[in-house]
Structure 1
Amino acid sequence: MKISVIGTGYVGLVTGTCLAETGNEVVCVDINEEKVQKMRNGEVPIYEPHLDVLFERNIKAGRLRFSTSLEEGLNHGEIIFLALPTPDDGDGSADLQYVLGVSEQIGKMITEYKVIVDKSTVPVGTAEKVYKIIKENAKCDFDVVSNPEFLREGFAVDDFLKPERIVIGSSSERATELMQKLYKPFVRSGNPIIIMDEKSAELTKYAANSFLATKITFMNEIANYCEKVGADVDKVRIGIGTDSRIGKRFLFPGIGYGGSCFPKDVKALYKSGKESQYDFKILDAVIKVNDNQKIALLPKIKKYFNNDLSNKKFAVWGLAFKPETDDIREAPSLYLIDELLKEGSRIRAFDPEAMDNVAKKYKNKIDLTESMYDALENADALIICTEWSIFRTPDYNKIKNTLSCPVIFDGRNLYDIKDMDREEISYFSIGRKEV
């Protein structure tokens, strides 16, 4: 099939590459000429495990091409994916200017039947808006479909190639048949393609992300309470996670969720509820608790240093919002770093993939090091913000010998408390006793 993807951000690039991998001819369109040229030269603009292999293979095979021309993309594809940004509009609502702006252009350019697919995460009713805008200018038949993505950063390629489910929101039999044909190679193991109306599909994505964000936040609340009463959140987590009704996933406490999806989507659903005169009280609490959780280590750090952090030097391991990505959007590490800088502290930080993005944000305000142990040089404490695998089994002797004093503030509960006690390292984590 001939497919076009408008927008080559995280979702668009993974979508286009993976669709090419199953033999489709894909044209990806982006207005950034420099970015398009780099992709034509085989340069992947984002870090995502395994994406580079598929990217290179499909470019060489001629199945994956890049263009700055929307007209070229529309002429090529029978199915047109809109994978455009829907950022926070400042008040929590999703900014649809890019989606609706392109929709207006599509209406003026298409000359034959197309299926226009909302791949971006958009509020309920967006497909209706897109259809109306295109209809004002189009002189041919078309359909608008909602097809939300469920891609986890760090696992996006596997999630796309082996999806647990595919949701298609469509009231058109013709469009539905084309979408089912497109996705048939991805569900050979029997996982479902779920057909529903457009509004239900749009809400499904928001509901899924908001539920997972709520689950994370609930465990963080339990962790905070554990600290008050002397319970161990790791034991509580195991105790409830073995209940099949609850499950083991998304129960690990820490310093809050971040990234491009959970924060934005929870706020957008909450805002959409307000616009429909519905008050999502649970989501209101989730947003507030998560905002506080991002700096949950700060009181512990202040207490340890007698409320004087001026000229203290902190090593920070982990800057991305989660492992296996270079994405720093809404990363808890950045919130904590900002607070430490306000206190007059100095920062030496390391992350396996997110260094370039952090350098663009902070310029010369913090020092970025070439290795995790370089960050420890003369630091007064180590702070862990992201649970990268390379941080899980460190050289404790090297940590003790390099830090000015052996103390770790762990926002991801990477280490065993008994090990820290045995190593004679002062250790502060989330929801567990202090060492």
Structure 2
Amino acid sequence: MDPAPTDTLMHEQPAHIILFRRVAADNAGLLAAVLDVSPLPGPSARATRTVLSTANGVHARVYRSLGVAVATLTPGEITRLRALDEVVAVLPNEERHLPGDLREGMRPGIQIEPPEDQAEDTDGEAPAEDTLPQIGLYPGPDVPTGRGVKVAVLDTGVDLAHPDLTVLPGNAVSFVASEPGAQDEHGHGTHCAGVVAGRAQPAGGRRYGVAPEVTLLVAKVLDRSGRGTDDQIIDAIDWATDQGAEVLSMSLGSARPAGSPPSVRYEVIARRLLEQGVLLVAAAGNESLRPEMVAPVGNPAACASVLAVGAVDGRDRIARFSCGDVDGLGAVDVVAPGVGVLSAWPGGGTRRLSGTSMATPHVAGLAALHAQANAGLSGRALWDRLVASARPVPGLAPSDGGAGVAQAPQAEEAAPGNAWSRHNVGRSLSRRAPAVHCLPGGLP
């Protein structure tokens, strides 16, 4: 599929992320005045974004619906911007990657299990023979399939020719300048996309896709080594929401030292997405070595406005690698199958992988099912539904498993006029509110 349009790419990697206090039309003008540049003319610029340029090329991008900009700034420009009331913060453009290694020698963020459908017990954990019953999904004629809902997977791309995946023309874009095509050269993105949207009748016979009729959007933000940067991810978020995505699935991030605050940049972005009816779902991270050590939830999952997903094995036991809430600053909201998960792999086949990366697209797919089953359910309301409908697991601490194992909408829930009356309906986004203190200066 297509690379990002050439006018969106800077000649050099931008060094800074600028967070504005509000989503406002005049943010671009404010930044242009500080940088002494002009908006880039021409019809090719994305409607949600303003490109600021000089004679030497693109100097900055302003994402109007996110209230964020990326640019390379001089020390003087940074000082002038930080002095403005309209600016919350000026931050470095940092690297993000697939969640931490599970074994030495493996590709970042994934553990390769026996190929195809051989589900063997590994290190005392139980790989999931079939993840769909574990998340309460029993395919049938009246069960939601995700039709009419758009889900974006931000990852390493996708195998565009995989027989189990449908990616419409224009729905897969690369934001990695060194890899202009969206074709997956790693494998992680294809696997995550398969969990979200694998066909109801896959080539191998065993269904693994949660929402087979969802409209799949793919944003390649990580290169073949599984690494990318904030500016690529922000550009992809803006593109995906401009395409109408209601759910963003991000099995990526960075480790967060215990006691350090969640990412300001992703909290600002995710909160504004929620206000616009878009849910961002992210992997909690794989840095734990249970039972000896539990690592804190990483970024961006630790942010209060990002739905953080941990991983359990096929017996609902917390995965040894799954990060947890160890410092009160980054909560796990729900868990999903993440050990020995079968899904698509480049070349047309399947493979079993383990990680919170695999749990995350399960929840993104479930979000699509809930959105289809309940017209108008989006953003914060969709978050609350996922948390409220989660299945509690006896013995699974909330610090590890949040509300429990995320579940598909029940048959009676999809009926018109039916009142929601699940046993744990009281759980909601409010349990994450305290983490908002990480924002400097406060936001309206």
Q: TM-score with structure 1 length normalisation?
A: 0.26
Q: Which of the two has greater helix per residue?
A: 1
Report 1 or 2 for greater relative contact order, CA contacts < 8 Å, sequence distance ≥ 6: 2
Which one has a bigger Cα radius of gyration? 1
Q: Which of the two has greater strand per residue?
A: 2
